Amino acid sequence: MRKIVVTDKGALKRRYKLRRTGRRWLSWETTIPREVIEREARRSGIPLAEFEKHFEAEWLFDSFPGLHLVFVPKRGEAL
């Protein structure tokens, strides 16, 4: 796995509330800014509505601080 380095210089920052969800409140949700989804749809070369149908968000986390968000085709989807 490659090293993920994020510098604050030039990074866009937004703060969002956390919301508890799931059975017995075992998960939390937050919002992904519209601009992020629109950018990923453009990079994929497909309209926003199609992107939403065929992709899902995947969070990467381990021993590094924070989370890394990527968008991957839904299981069984070939794009």
Tens of pLDDT along the chain (79 residues)?
A: 567 677 777 778 888 999 999 899 999 999 999 999 999 999 999 999 999 999 999 998 888 778 889 999 998 776 6
- Residue-wise pLDDT tens digits, 35-53: 999 999 999 999 999 999 9
Quick check: is 57 in a domain?
yes
Between the alpha carbon of residue 79 and those of residues 8, 37, 48, 54, the distances in Å are 32, 17, 15, 8
Quick check: is 34 in a domain?
yes
Say what the pLDDT of residue 8 is.
75
Number of domains the chain contains: 1
Domain enclosing residue 49, as ranges: 20-73
Largest Cα–Cα separation, the chain: 39
Quick check: is 11 in a domain?
no
Quick check: is 15 in a domain?
no
Quick check: is 61 in a domain?
yes
Quick check: is 2 in a domain?
no
Quick check: is 63 in a domain?
yes
Say what the pLDDT of residue 9 is.
79
